[in-house]
Amino acid sequence: MKKRSSKPANRRTPKAPPVLIQWRFGLICVFIAFALVALVARAAYIQVIEPDRLRHEGDLRSVRVEQVHSARGMIEDRQGEPLAVSVPVQAVWADPVTVFKHQGLNNVERWYALADVLGLDRQALIDKIQANRKRRFIYLQRQVRPAMAAYVNKLDLPGVGLKAESRRFYPSAEVSAHLVGMTGIDGHGLEGIERRFDDWLAGEHGKRTVRKDRFGRVVEHIATEDKKEGQSLTLSIDQRLQAIAYRAIKQAVADYRATSGSLVMVDVKTGEVMAMVNAPSYNPNNRSSLKSFNMRNRAITDVFEPGSTMKPFVVLTALENGVADMDTVIDTGNGIMQIGGSRVRDVSKVGKANLARILKKSSNIGVSKLSLAMPVETLLGEYGSFGLGASTGVELVGESVGHFPSRRRWSDFERATLAFGYGLSVTPTQLARAYATLGALGINRPLSILKREGVTEGKQVASRENVYKVLQMLEGVTQEGGSARRAAVDGYRVGAKTGTAKVAVAGGYGDEYIGYTAGLAPISNPRLAMVVVINEPQGDKYYGGQVAAPVFSDVMKSALQILNIAPDAGTGPGLQVAKYASEVNRNE
């Protein structure tokens, strides 16, 4: 029996020693060296040759430019009373990307609370966030009051923040709305003074450049650009007179069921606008009820045919050109004058009368004969020299220059009607400037809506002597028997002229009327010129002497007292009006 041979257990086969392959080792070293050189070269290129790109990309991720809000300048009246001020408010904004990053919409109750405090529809707010999920900034609500902003801050919603801004507040509300105007949601002027002087009032916002970390915390202040505050503006108007004028014109519009009314008051000595109001008006503090019909500043935009308020300028032109003098007597006949196929009529028979009586009785025939006795260019030139057909100087947006007739051939009837205010159109402000020029004894000054210091230089457009004569005649119009006696003011010598004209429509005239009164006080030393216009009064009363003259009297009386202008009744001789017709005497 054979025995099996036994093999040794767990015997290991010895390994061959490693062999260094020179070419392979060298190749690896070359690659490593090449990579090291490439990295060093790339680093040198980035750090030395072209560092700006990466720096820019880094700044995009961390550098933020924040706006430093500047307050809009205040608007004041001539006494320093605020008419427009800026109050601090907050804007509520959202970053939808951040909102969705933190699953902010999951807590829907807090979003509903945000919608409720902002006065928004709950679902509409959620839909707005979802519709803009890729945007980094959207406004949720502008001009939020501080109390509401504090509540929003306590909600602690991710991606929702507050931004400081300001809101315009108008203490005088509807009283000065047409003149002062208002601003839009972004703080830029939309109407009136706010728009005309927007650059002056707005100033410039500042900028602050900062670096923030990933949590939005400021870690570095890089640069600051100082803000430039808006500058204040002092207007020429007196808010006391403005308030009185507005109440009176608003009441008149309501009493006579008129479409609208306007009043303009001018300082004769300086050309400053002391009051400019319209009714109906609007409240710029309540944007929800704004209507474009109520927002128009009719005192500078709406035009009308000035009617009989032009008659003093016809008389003045006749005196200036030697066509008539204080002793001239004009025969107006039986109150009807035939001119071609048309007729000129007087409201009442005047008969033979001098210039003062023609003006006092508002004779259309009398001024027509004066107009026909001189070239039409002479009368138009006189109208133009008193500011008609040109800008008044207030430089407000939307101002109309009216319609000034210019034609090659004039019929006698057109020349006659031009004498009592037909065939041309003016704004209430233009008419106020013309009467202020009369009050300044023929010195025409541009009007200003900004406060002026001292007496403004003007241009002498008529002789002082003849203008003074016309002023004396105007005083007679407000006395017993005159067409503007309702414009008289107790204790003061007042000169005024009323007018009534039909509303011009396409192709002719409509059935509605415009009543107005223009005048000055006190006649001994004119300080204020005023124009009152009542547009389309309803009912039996529509003449200027019925609807506009009482407003003129009430407002002028209050203005003279507020400005401490001494009464002048009985301080100067009035012109004696010739009385030729016994019938007219009985009417007086």
Burial environment of residue 60 by CB neighbours within 10 A (0 to 12, 13 to 18, 19 or more): exposed
Take residue 381 and report the two structure tokens written for it: 């030139």
Give residue for tokens 């040759």: 49
CA 506 to chain centroid, in Å, comes to: 29
Question: Given 86, 176, 260, 308, which residue is catalytic?
Answer: 308
Take residue 202 and report the two structure tokens written for it: 């707005």
Q: How many helices (H) and strands (E) does the chain have?
A: 22, 19
Give residue for tokens 């041979």: 5
Distances (CA, A) of 171 to 16, 135, 166: 103, 39, 16
CA 405 to chain centroid, in Å, comes to: 28
Helix (H) or strand (E) holding 44: helix 22-44
Give residue for tokens 């474009």: 292
Closest CA to 416 of 370, 348, 359, 455: 370
Residues sharing a CB contact under 8 Å with residue 380, sequence separation 6 or more, in sequence order: 404, 405, 418
Closest CA to 501 of 282, 304, 331, 279: 304
Whole-number CA gyration radius for the chain: 40
E strand spans, 95-179 = 138-144, 160-169
CA 200 to chain centroid, in Å, comes to: 14
CB 250 within 8 A of CB 420: no
CA–CA separation, 271 and 392 (whole Å): 10
452, HSE (Cβ side, Cα atoms, 13 Å): 19
CB 335 within 8 A of CB 346: yes
Torsion region of 501: left, alpha or beta (phi above 0 gives left; psi -120 to 50 gives alpha): beta
Closest CA to 268 of 512, 115, 437: 437
Residue type for position 135: R
Cis peptide before 375 (omega within 30 of 0): no
Give residue for tokens 């003062």: 356
Q: Which residues pair with 208 in a beta bridge?
A: 66, 224
Residues sharing a CB contact under 8 Å with residue 307, sequence separation 6 or more, in sequence order: 420, 421, 422, 499, 500, 501, 516, 544
Residues sharing a CB contact under 8 Å with residue 404, sequence separation 6 or more, in sequence order: 380, 383, 384, 388, 389, 424
391 tagged catalytic: no
Strands 206-212 and 160-169: unpaired
- Which residues are annotated as catalytic? 308
